[in-house]
């Protein structure tokens, strides 16, 4: 395997002085990073089944084209005007859900599913769902759609509609459970042939209600959500299996405690068995359970235990009728692939990387498994192949950077889209079988070539325990002068499942950071221990004491900044959101005097106010870890504040509920400490749309005005 080379140190965006340069506005930086300033790219690429052709959309999403691997000739297949004519619907963009064959694809227009034949220019209605339907999932083999209305599950075909569940609002069917932890993103699971429909169900009757204020009514009204806080009553999960022939539903409940988590649901071959990972509430013990289609428990295939946590995020992946692949990060410290038989016996370890395998993409008839992972650099994303019989492995994307690969249905071709520090976007088609490049589809120009924009430096510092390299990004203004002193904004997240510094275009940075640099700032980010894609030891160091090691690493970043001759050590500011808001406020209060200014958005301020599934994984329950909860509780440190702190929160935040910020503000008031607070009415955890310009103006103006 060819190792990728990590690019570091002073890799910036090209400036073309011969053309008049445009100054970047903050509004442009916020609203146009993924619009006007997004590098040119092929849109919504999908391979057409069993061909050497691929389909893609025009940049405005109005026209569907196809092209062949051998040439760049575009052939128009259909456009929105024709789709409107064929379906009698208002079609705003071409939406290809999946290709049925080389001539037809499925689409959803308004609330109706159609099969569109591009060769005959015809449309066949498949199924129509109600306008208030949500979470709909199509099974194209039987032309049926499962969906939810409110908290119940429905099924519709061209001829009939069936209500599968009929419970009150406390019982939620067909939606994501466990607050979308454990890799859960949906709640409806068709069996391969469409004879059965499995679904998640959660009983929230014992979960506390949490009130959110709607200010758009006169008078204001309260909307209650179910929000299970750490240590309190949790939801109770079940899995339902609906038989489309008998119209009967059977249910699977946890084998352990009633509040165990049922996760990573997957069907086995031939629709005979269902596989579910059951995780205990303490999240330190996982069992892979096997059930038949009648909901009968067959056996526990294997178990995983840890003194910190177990966190299955991938269901079983079958490669044949008798063998499946399972992800495990506890055995080697890094997520790797393991081959098991259907009795739960380990056949072999397929990969043995000291880096993170992230996902399985597919499997071909030659025994090759295609998967993605970081590769040798944790800053990158690459695609790989391993043969389950011979063990042969190779890297399919050897160019350094962050890749997204799309494979043809026979796995003969790969459409590779990648970027890195120097490359905005490049697209290449490869012949996987012959292991050679066929052609370059697109090489994007630098979208900032006529914009005054600065440079970014990339490198490493040592973690606080001196054992690990931490990766940083330092953005400088276009007119950077090493003889001057610059103020710094430290942008921080620092929590699990996130990585801010990447070998990708802009290095993973938001464009507003480059805008701030042009105002005479340096913008610095380092991924501390506890963040993603570095292995279990690196990530689990946070267990039971959130904030401690993360802040220690951030302070190593501060030491590094202060060692630079062009950094004004007396003018350091810090900003972050969510876990980054927790980190920002923690740094201001527990390391007083280091930063003159902090802006914390949607911060966790007391982990006992946060939800069970995430909070208890990393902190255990409050009664199990009283010292850890108290130490991380920001109200304990309000008297330590030096400098200026702005707290921001969406008033209907259903992720980090507003109680966090209000309780912290009350502690400041109780102790006579002045602090600034700004709410965003009717916004949830993130401020989106045009109001985001207001948000970033508020944040950055505060930094500039107070960090003096």
- Find all residues with CB under 8 Å of 17, minimum gap 6, and list them: none
Residue 413 has pLDDT above 50, yes or no: yes
Mean pLDDT, range 618-640, rounded to an integer? 98
Annotated active-site residue 654? The verdict is no
At 640, list the tokens.
């330590």
Positions of E strands within 141-296: 144-149, 152-156, 161-163, 171-173, 188-190, 196-203, 209-214, 221-226, 236-243, 248-252, 261-267, 273-279, 285-292
Best CATH choice for the domain 319-444 from the list 2.40.110.10, 3.50.50.60, 3.30.420.40, 2.120.10.30: 2.120.10.30
pLDDT at 19 over 80: no
What whole-number distance in Å separates Cα of residue 288 and Cα of residue 302? 6
Is 5 a residue whose pLDDT tops 50?
Answer: no
Which one is catalytic: 497, 685, 694, 706?
A: 685
CA distances from 137 to 27, 90, 273, 470 (A): 37, 21, 21, 41
Q: Give the neighbor-by-neighbor strand order of the sheet with 469-476.
A: 11-12, 455-462, 469-476, 522-526, 486-491, 567-577, 597-601, 644-650, 676-680
685 catalytic residue (yes or no): yes
User: Per-residue pLDDT tens for 526-579?
Assistant: 999 999 999 999 999 999 999 999 999 999 999 999 999 999 999 999 999 999
Give the residue-averaged pLDDT of 149-177.
95
User: Is 653 annotated in the active site?
Assistant: yes
pTM above 0.75, yes or no: yes
Give the whole-angstrom CA distance, residue 375 versus residue 352.
12
Q: Give yes or no for residue 4 having a pLDDT over 60.
A: no
The SS3 assignment for 125 reads strand
With bands split at pLDDT 50, 70 and 90, how would you rate the model's confidence at 708?
A: confident
The residue annotated as part of the active site, out of 28, 136, 620, 653, is 653
Residue in the block written with tokens 């008078």: 219
pLDDT by residue (tens digit) across 445-470? Answer: 999 999 999 999 999 999 999 999 99
**All structural domains of the chain with their residue ranges:** 40-126, 129-203+235-315, 319-444, 447-706
Lookup result for tokens 């575009």:
74
Instruction: Report the distance separating Cα 74 and Cα 88, nearest Å.
Output: 27
Indicate which residue of 335, 408, 578, 586 is catalytic: 578
CA separation, residue 94 to residues 60, 108, 246 (Å): 10, 9, 37
Helix (H, G, I), strand (E, B) or coil at 291: strand
Mean model confidence pLDDT for the chain? 96
Give the tens place of pLDDT for each residue, 474-509: 999 999 999 999 999 999 999 999 999 999 999 999
**Angle subtended at Cα 422 by Cα 421 and Cα 428, rounded to the nearest 5 degrees:** 100
- Which CATH number is 129-203+235-315 given? 2.140.10.30
Burial of 390 (0-12, 13-18, 19+ CB in 10 A): exposed
- Contact between residue 46 and residue 417 where contact means Cβ atoms under 8 Å apart: no
Task: Sort strands 285-292 and 11-12 into parallel, antiparallel or unpaired.
Answer: unpaired
Strand-strand pairing, 112-117 and 317-318: unpaired
Rounded Cα distance, 415 and 441, in Å: 9
pLDDT value of position 158: 75
Candidate CATH numbers 3.40.50.150, 3.40.50.300, 3.40.50.1820, 3.90.105.20; the one for domain 447-706: 3.40.50.1820
């Amino acid at each position: 395997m060819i190792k990728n080379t990590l690019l570091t140190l002073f890799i910036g965006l090209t400036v073309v002085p011969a053309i008049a340069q445009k100054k970047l506005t903050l509004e442009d930086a916020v609203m146009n990073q993924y619009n006007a300033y997004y590098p040119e790219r092929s849109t919504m690429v999908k391979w057409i089944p069993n061909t050497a052709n691929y389909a893609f959309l025009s940049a405005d999403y109005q026209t569907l084209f196809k092209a062949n691997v051998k040439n760049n000739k575009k052939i128009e297949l259909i456009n929105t005007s024709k789709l409107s004519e064929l379906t009698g619907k208002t079609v705003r963009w071409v939406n290809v859900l999946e290709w049925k064959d080389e001539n037809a694809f499925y689409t959803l227009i308004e609330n109706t599913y159609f099969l569109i034949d591009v060769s005959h220019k015809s449309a066949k209605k498949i199924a129509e769902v109600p306008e208030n339907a949500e979470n709909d999932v199509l099974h194209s083999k039987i032309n049926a759609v499962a969906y939810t209305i409110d908290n119940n599950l429905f099924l519709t075909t061209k001829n009939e509609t069936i209500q599968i569940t009929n419970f009150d609002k406390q019982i939620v069917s067909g939606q994501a459970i466990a607050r979308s932890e454990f890799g859960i993103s949906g709640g409806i699971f068709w069996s391969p042939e469409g004879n059965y429909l499995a679904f998640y169900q959660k009983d929230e009757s014992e979960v506390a209600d949490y009130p959110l204020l709607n200010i758009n009514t006169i008078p204001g009204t309260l909307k209650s959500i179910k929000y299970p806080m750490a240590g309190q009553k949790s939801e109770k999960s079940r899995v339902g299996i609906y038989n489309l022939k008998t119209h009967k539903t059977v249910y699977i409940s946890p084998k352990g405690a009633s509040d165990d988590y049922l996760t990573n649901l997957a069907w086995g071959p031939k629709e005979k068995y269902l596989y579910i990972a059951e995780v205990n509430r303490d999240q330190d013990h996982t069992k892979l359970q096997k059930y038949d289609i009648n909901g009968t428990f067959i056996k526990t295939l294997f178990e995983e235990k840890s003194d910190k946590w177990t966190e299955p995020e991938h269901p079983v992946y079958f490669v044949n009728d008798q063998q499946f692949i399972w992800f495990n990060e506890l055995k080697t410290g890094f997520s790797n692939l393991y081959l098991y038989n259907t009795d739960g016996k380990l056949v072999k370890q397929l990969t043995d990387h000291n880096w993170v395998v992230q996902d399985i993409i597919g499997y071909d008839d030659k025994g090759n498994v295609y998967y993605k992972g970081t590769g040798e650099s944790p800053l990158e994303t690459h695609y790989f192949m391993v043969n389950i019989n011979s063990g042969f492995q190779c890297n399919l994307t050897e160019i350094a950077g962050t890749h997204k690969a799309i494979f043809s249905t026979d796995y003969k071709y790969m459409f590779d889209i990648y970027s890195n520090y120097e490359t905005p976007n490049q697209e290449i088609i490869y012949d996987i079988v012959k292991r050679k490049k066929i052609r370059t589809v697109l090489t994007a120009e630098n979208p900032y070539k006529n914009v005054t924009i600065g440079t970014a430096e990339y490198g490493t510092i040592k973690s606080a325990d001196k054992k690990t390299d931490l990766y940083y990004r330092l953005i400088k203004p276009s007119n950077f002068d090493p003889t001057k002193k610059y103020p710094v904004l430290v942008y921080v997240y620092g929590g699990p499942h996130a990585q801010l510094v990447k070998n990708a275009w802009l290095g993973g940075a938001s464009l507003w950071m480059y805008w701030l640099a042009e105002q005479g700032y340096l913008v610095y980010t380092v991924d501390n221990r506890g963040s993603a894609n570095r292995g279990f030891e690196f990530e689990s160091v946070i267990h039971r004491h959130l904030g401690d090691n993360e802040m220690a690493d951030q302070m190593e970043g501060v030491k590094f900044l202060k060692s630079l001759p062009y950094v004004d050590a007396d003018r350091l500011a810090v900003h972050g959101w969510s876990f980054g808001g927790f980190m920002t406020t923690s740094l201001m209060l527990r390391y007083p005097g280091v930063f003159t200014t902090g802006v914390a958005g949607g911060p966790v301020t007391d982990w006992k106010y946060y939800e069970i599934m995430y909070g208890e994984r990393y902190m255990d329950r409050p009664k199990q870890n009283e010292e850890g909860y108290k130490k991380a509780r920001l109200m304990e440190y309000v008297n330590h504040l030096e400098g200026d702190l702005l707290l921001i929160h969406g008033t209907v935040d259903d992720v980090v509920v507003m109680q966090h910020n209000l309780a912290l503000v009350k502690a400041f008031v109780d102790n006579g400490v002045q602090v600034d607070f700004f709410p965003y009415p009717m916004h949830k955890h993130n401020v989106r749309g045009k109001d985001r310009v207001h948000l970033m103006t508020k944040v950055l103006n505060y930094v500039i005005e107070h960090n003096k």
